[in-house]
Amino acid sequence: MNGATIRRRFGCYYSPELRAQALSLSLNFPDGTLSMQILDKIKMQRKASDERPPELPISWVEISNSISRRYQFQPDGKLSVKMVDDSRPAAQRVMESFLNKFFPSGYPYSVNEGYMRYTQFRALQHFTSAALSVLSTQSLLFAAGLRPTPAQATAVSWILRDGMQHVGKLICSNLGARMDSEPKRWRILADVLYDFGTGLEVMSPLCPHLFLEVAGLGNFAKGMAVVAARATRLPIYSSFAKEGNLSDLFAKGEAISTLFNVLGLGTGIHLASTICSSMQGKLVKVQENHVSQDVQNHLHLEEVTGILGMFVFHALTDRLTEIRGTSVPWVLSFYSLVELTFYKTMLIRPCGLFVQYLVENPRKLLLIWFNMPVCRVEFVVPVDYRVICDSGNIEYLQLVVAPLLSVIHVYSVCEEMRAAPVNTLNPLRTAMIVADFVKTGKISSPADLRYREDLLFPGRLIEDAGKVKVGRSLHEVVRPSKLQQFKEAFPEEKFLLNHGSRWTDMILEHNATGEDALRGWLVAAYASDMERLVNEPSANILQEAYDKMNSTFSPFLAELQAKGWHTDRFLDGTGNRFAF
């Protein structure tokens, strides 16, 4: 059998490789014959090549908020989603959910020895402290002379109001990863939330019937602010630590804060007792249901604006309210609690953390100061006197001073954050570093970038850095037909790139570091730069950009670390990672 015979007989059945093998075998047999064993061998090779294992459906696992989900493309192109480890016992799922919400990511491997014992006793400390505060509040209310029922109601209102702050803390604690990524932005947001909550408290006297709702919302905002401020304090201080002196920096920073808090309290008290006094009331003598023009006594109340809230009368809905009686129950202040009996003049002035009640010719005087919510003041007035509240005497200057102080407050914290040279890698800072390197060949230090960071809108895309978006879910970015292509493009890397016309999506594996994110970002930036130069998209542009990245990454990384950047972690803040 010669070569032509083999081609005629097997050409339409066998691949070019098998035909070439048969032709080479025919050359070894001058008589043109092939043994049946060789023909059987060729047929067996063809059969083995045809029986390839079926291609399995493409699937991957995404980890978001410590929850693993398996995504898989079905043969019909649909995407199915399934929770990983759904078969775990309920108790185990509850325990792992608790650990994920209240312990650091990666616990127990991400913390040092003793963290569990520290956490246990810290929890016990806060539990006993909260319980004692409730008991002490109730005891003080009884000591103030209130009957059991009002005291209990006031204590319940206070606990509910304070409870809203704890709710805000719990909600904000779930955003810890975002605070690691954007500590400056969240520190500013914390002060904005705190000022918002304080503003609600300042305005609460305008709607005393909605005190619990308004004050509760204010405390909710302040609770979130407290968690955000405390959580971002350490990254900010760490950015200034140069020789391992973090504790010293923290202690000195707290000392400065305490000093100026005291000075601010003194200034606020001075403002409250002078230009920001809010109300005046008059106690006038009544003669046959006629208000005498001769004012016998004056009642003057002054407040602590922006620190402890405003004193307010409950009956200021009308222009003039007159109340007659020997016993006048009155919701007078949200922050003071006193039971007084008097005949002539009473003057109430705040002084530090106390309120000094000066009463001329008192029958009974109880000096008490509480930082409490809804409180009750009972005046025992002679029968021929009335309490007159004139809403026209309200001073609204505090409504100007408080916003002005708030603006100065927020501006100050913005300048603080701009001055902090944070040296961790997040999406914005990574994009700025890559953009500077691609454009100028130089690497900026944390101090160089601090004044250029966009603290209000950090999610903006930078064109010179390839317009990279990080943190989107894999199933939102990839198409079934291209997933295998993405996997094979950079098989040794811990990132996937989807280079689009408007931006480039980068998805990181669950164990990707800052170096992996930098490698992917450089590839995207080089690809975008090449497209601008040639003005024509190329199928091999990502591969060319990848080769260029490999040639420049080692010196780039060395200089980056020499500038003080930490490349061991990439703080994307979203928690969306994948694992094949």
The pLDDT of residue 13: 43
Between β-strands 79-83 and 67-73, what pairing exists: parallel, antiparallel or unpaired?
antiparallel
The pLDDT of residue 161: 63
Phi, psi of 304 (to 5 degrees): -110, 95
The pLDDT of residue 516: 92
The pLDDT of residue 502: 83
How many Å apart are CA 103 and CA 111, to the nearest integer? 10
The pLDDT of residue 417: 85
How many Å apart are CA 272 and CA 301, to the nearest integer? 11
The pLDDT of residue 59: 73
The pLDDT of residue 283: 33
The pLDDT of residue 562: 92
The pLDDT of residue 37: 56
Which residues of the chain are under the pLDDT cut of 50?
A: 3-15, 18, 23, 25-30, 32-34, 49, 54, 136, 139-141, 144, 147-148, 150-151, 278-395
How many Å apart are CA 77 and CA 74, to the nearest integer? 5
108: preceding bond cis by omega (within 30 degrees): yes
The pLDDT of residue 306: 27
Please give the structure tokens belonging to residue 242.
């140069």
